[in-house]
């Protein structure tokens, strides 16, 4: 059962809220694991009563990576089968390596070259 454009947009917005909230709020992420129906409803994603909810937190290496399109497809399947599989990966790790002074000089300072026909003194 394909979602209408409006229903798809509503699902994408709610799913995005689930992702962002799970990544930024540890309490919500725990709730997503323990009481997923309640956590999803908080984000505006209502799953029918009695439906099975499977929250996949660890995406296996080499699995089909379709991103948002795959998640929409899984949601549509859930509407037909009453089994909703939601891929909510663990919080992405961001490398926080500091830049050296040399790196910063190359990015921030550089050489000012004015090649416009204005009368500035640069």
Residue pLDDT, tens place only, 91-114: 776 666 676 666 666 665 555 555
DSSP of 90-111:
PPPP---PPPPHHHHIIIII--
Query: What's the chain's average pLDDT?
Result: 83
Confidence of residue 59 (pLDDT cuts 50, 70, 90): confident
The share of the chain scoring above pLDDT 90, in percent, equals: 59
Average pLDDT value for residue range 55-77? 81
The residues spanned by each domain of the chain are: 1-122
- Going by C-alpha positions, the residue among 80, 33, 85 that lies closest to residue 64 is 85
What does the block give as tokens for 56? 């996949």
**Does the pLDDT value for residue 79 go beyond 80?**
yes
Average pLDDT value for residue range 7-27? 95
Confidence of residue 46 (pLDDT cuts 50, 70, 90): very high
pTM over 0.85: no
Average pLDDT value for residue range 1-11? 92
The DSSP H or E segment spanning 54 is: strand 52-56
DSSP-assigned letter for residue 46: -
Check: CB of residue 114 under 8 Å from CB of residue 122. yes
């Amino acid at each position: 059962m394909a979602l209408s454009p409006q229903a798809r947009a509503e699902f994408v917005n709610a799913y995005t809220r689930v992702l962002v909230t799970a990544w930024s709020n540890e309490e919500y992420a725990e709730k997503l694991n323990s009481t997923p129906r309640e956590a999803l409803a908080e984000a505006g994603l209502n799953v029918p009563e009695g439906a099975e909810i499977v929250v996949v937190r660890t995406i296996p290496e080499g699995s089909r990576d379709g991103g948002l399109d795959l998640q929409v497809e899984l949601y549509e399947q859930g509407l037909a089968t009453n089994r909703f599989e939601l891929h909510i990966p663990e919080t992405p790790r961001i490398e926080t390596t500091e830049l050296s002074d040399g790196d910063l000089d190359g990015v921030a300072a550089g050489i000012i070259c004015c090649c416009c026909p204005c009368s500035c003194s640069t």
